[in-house]
Amino acid sequence: MLYPQRVDYILKALQLGQSVKVADLSRALQISVDTVRRDLKNMEQEGLVKYVRGGACLPDTVLSFASFAGREIVHAEQKRIAARKACHLVQEGDIVALNSGTTNTVLSQELVQLSFPFTVVTNNYAALSILMQNAYINLIAIGGSVDRLERSSYGAQCVQEFDAYIPDLAFLSLNAVNVSEGFTDFRLNEIPIIQLLARNSKQVVAVMDGSKFNKLSKRKVLALDEVDVLISDDLSHAGSLQKAGLKLQ
């Protein structure tokens, strides 16, 4: 089993039990104790787990400061389910805005399969490289300073270029949501972009997998009422958000 597959197994085990033991992982994955420890230490550096004596637990905040590559393999199938739902909102001729983030990169893999013309405006360079494969899609790349780790642009120029558009749809990739603080995120450079898209777009859609519900990240980004609909793979833990007035799909 390769490292990404082991990471996926460990994270799923943590979602079920909140903590894992080195010895148990060694038996389940059929690898040495030293390899398990090395995997857990690497995952801690990526922000995916908190390494403790004898095992690991989930970090206090949801994927705070995890690398793009690390987040890309976490809950990948759940993100894809949410992305497929989101695609149904896109209509011919729409201007669709995407911000940076792994969920929107997965969404781009679904959008690229649509067979009618529409426009995508984005600072998400990982998504751009995927969407280039479909000649129906008119692509507008937003410039600015480049964040190589996040595979996106940011900064004053980025915000200024985005501000020239009034998207029909803004698909927002966000890090966490709960009733008391609304939508939160740890990507400080991305926050002004998210807030601008929420102000300027005709329909604001948060696309998030269910693991991000009732969690808290580093900074407040949007109130619940600034998002028109939240699309997710799993709404079983979203009751409090629905009671607070957030439309779910």
Reply yes or no on whether the pLDDT at 226 is more than 60.
yes
pLDDT digits 0-9 by tens, 172-208: 999 999 999 999 998 889 999 999 999 999 999 999 9
The predicted structure's pLDDT at residue 69: 55
Looking at the chain, the whole-number percentage of residues with pLDDT higher than 70 is 91
Distance, CA of 238 to CA of 232 (rounded, Å): 10
Question: Domain boundaries in the chain?
Answer: 3-60, 74-243
Distance, CA of 133 to CA of 235 (rounded, Å): 32
The predicted structure's pLDDT at residue 49: 82
Nearest to 210 by CA among 190, 228, 230, 195: 230
Per-residue pLDDT band for 65 (boundaries 50, 70, 90) equals: very low
The predicted structure's pLDDT at residue 60: 56
The predicted structure's pLDDT at residue 17: 66
User: Which class does domain 3-60 fall in?
Assistant: mainly alpha
For the packed helices 33-45 and 22-29, what is the interaxial angle rounded to 10 degrees?
Answer: 110
- Report the pLDDT averaged over residues 78-82: 93
Per-residue pLDDT band for 238 (boundaries 50, 70, 90) equals: confident
Strand pairing category for 152-154 and 145-147:
antiparallel
pLDDT digits 0-9 by tens, 1-36: 898 889 878 887 876 666 899 999 999 999 999 999
Report yes or no: 182 and 195 within 8 Å, Cβ to Cβ.
Answer: no
Q: What is the CA radius of gyration of the chain?
A: 18
Q: Looking at the DSSP assignment, which residues form a beta bridge with residue 183?
A: 177, 222
Find the range with the poorest average confidence among 50-59, 75-84, 148-157, 174-183: 50-59
- Domain 74-243, second-level architecture: 3-Layer(aba) Sandwich (3.40)
Q: Please, what is the average pLDDT of the chain?
A: 90
pLDDT digits 0-9 by tens, 164-179: 999 999 999 999 999 9
The predicted structure's pLDDT at residue 189: 92
